[in-house]
Amino acid sequence: MNSGMVGFDTIFLYKHNDGIWADGAEEFHNRGFLFGDGLFETMVYSNGKIRFGNEHLERLNEGLKILFIENDGLSRLNEIENLLHEIWGNKKSLRVRWNVYRSGLGKYTPEENHVIESLQVQSLFPTPIQKEKAYLSQYVFIQKTPWSHCKTLSAIHYVMANLERKSKGFDEVILKNSDGFVCEGGSSNIFWIKNGQYFTPSLDAGCIAGVGRRMIISYLKENNIPILEGLFRKEELFLADQVFTSNVTGISYIKSIDDKVFDSQRNEYLASIFED
């Protein structure tokens, strides 16, 4: 098995029917590939452990329940950690995408509801501490559904949003939902601060239930720092003193949205949430 990775090289590991992980697919055409019928968790492996492992597993199991995919046979976290340790040891930090999709073929109607798994493993590159320029998309909107908070394989709206962002030369795109409420970043959740009060869109806005988002909210509540989850218009975002985005790799502070400039000084206490 190839364990060397240079730069942005990617290793794919598939769990076969005999329970063995290997770097060759038995069957490339599956429901994840054909229909986006499944979920994924983007995780950080550092010092021999999956960061926020229990939170990732809880979110994955909730998503499987919502999509009516049985979790019997789903790998244990320590199995994945042991596999990564066996190949790469505990000195290398990795970005690990755990793909879990519905087994079988069929058409739109599934023939079965068991799980198939694969891992996409890459070198971990830290999230930028600051993002210079952001804007609100007027082209891509998030639709609230019973599964919009899950990390499904059906992510074409994020693909299109980031294509638009790249074409415009921006560092971040901020998405609204179909009702015009601020929702999330192109690959992250969004927070802002006004007069010491933290704000973030609630899951009712249609945003992903990010693990990083969950950890930040927990930290703020544990330290009696006011945090309000709700539905907010862009005008409320533009009143902020500071704006940042978060995902499991960390926090990025936004310097400007359109012509509005924000404080982008790093908060060391929040940064410590993402340190091993």
Phi and psi for 61 in degrees, rounded to 5?
-65, -35
**pLDDT recorded at residue 1:** 57
Phi and psi for 187 in degrees, rounded to 5?
-150, 35
Of the candidates 253, 193, 262, the residue with the CA atom closest to the CA atom of residue 227: 193
Of the candidates 81, 82, 63, 79, the residue with the CA atom closest to the CA atom of residue 71: 63
State how far the Cα of 202 lies from the Cα of 240, in Å rounded to an integer.
Answer: 17
Neighbours of 150 (CB within 10 A): 20
Span between the terminal Cα atoms of the chain, in Å: 28
**pLDDT recorded at residue 16:** 80
Domains of the chain: 10-123 (3.30.470.10), 130-274 (3.20.10.10)
| Cβ pair 31, 104 in contact under 8 A | yes
**pLDDT recorded at residue 6:** 47
Blockwise average pLDDT, block size 10, the chain, 276 residues: 59 83 70 94 96 98 98 95 94 94 91 94 93 97 96 96 98 97 98 97 98 98 97 98 97 96 95 91
